Structure 1
């Protein structure tokens, strides 16, 4: 085999291995990618059906309901414009309270009910996930504009 053919074969094998490595990295990244949606976006149909994502906002006051088994709860997450029911089975974080910020990760079931696998609560008085803070601010601005327009 000529040295030119050997060089070509080496470059081809190198490109093939590099392509395989890139495909594996992107595949793993895609499987672990989790998007964030607000209750308004979920009710508008923007959230994916059958795929895991995060919903965030405030836990609506008076919406927390605990089941008799002690580990199953349901509550409403609101962005001040819309609200979504969240069902969760497990231990809630110590800082989880009504009227406070929350982010839940899970899947949307039939009837626009969010079934959470994980619930995260804010960790101090000033913290809110940036996505949730932006969504609340945007929803508040929208409701203020609608009130001014008389809707």
Structure 2
């Protein structure tokens, strides 16, 4: 093989390896990517079906219902404009309570029930997850714009 052909083969092989590595990294990134949606966006059908995403807002007062098994809890997340029912089976964070900020990660079923795999709550009196705060701010602007 001539040196010129060998050089072209090495460059082509290097580019192919780089392309494969890039494709694998992008595939891993895509499968781990989780988007955030507000209850208003979920109600409008903007959330993906059969794919994990996050929904956040406030836990609606009076909506928390614990099942007899001690682990399953149902509650409603609101952004003050729309609500979405959530069910979660597991141990809730200590700071989870009604009227407080929450972000739940999971999937939406065909009946419109959000089945959470993970629930995140606020950290202290002044903190709310930035995604949830933004959702509430957007919902407040939307509500103020209505006639």
TM-score (norm 1): 0.95
Gaps in structure 1 of 5+ consecutive residues: none
Mapped partners of 2:68, 2:140: distance in 1:
36
SS in 1 for 2:56: strand
Q: Deviations over 1:97-145 (max 9, x none)?
A: 1000000000000221100000000111222222211110111111122
Q: How does 1:60-139 map to 2 (within 5 A)?
A: 60-139=60-139
Mapped partners of 1:45, 1:108: distance in 2:
11
Mapped partners of 1:64, 1:124: distance in 2:
20
Q: Deviations over 1:33-56 (max 9, x none)?
A: 000000000000000110000000
Mapped partners of 1:99, 1:88: distance in 2:
17
SS in 2 for 1:112: coil
Mapped partners of 1:135, 1:91: distance in 2:
25
Mapped partners of 2:24, 2:44: distance in 1:
34
Aligned residues: 147
SS in 1 for 2:136: helix
SS in 2 for 1:62: coil
Q: Deviations over 1:38-81 (max 9, x none)?
A: 00000000001100000000000000000000000000000000
Over the aligned positions, Cα root-mean-square deviation in angstroms equals: 0.7
Structure 1 residue 140 corresponds to structure 2 residue 140:
yes
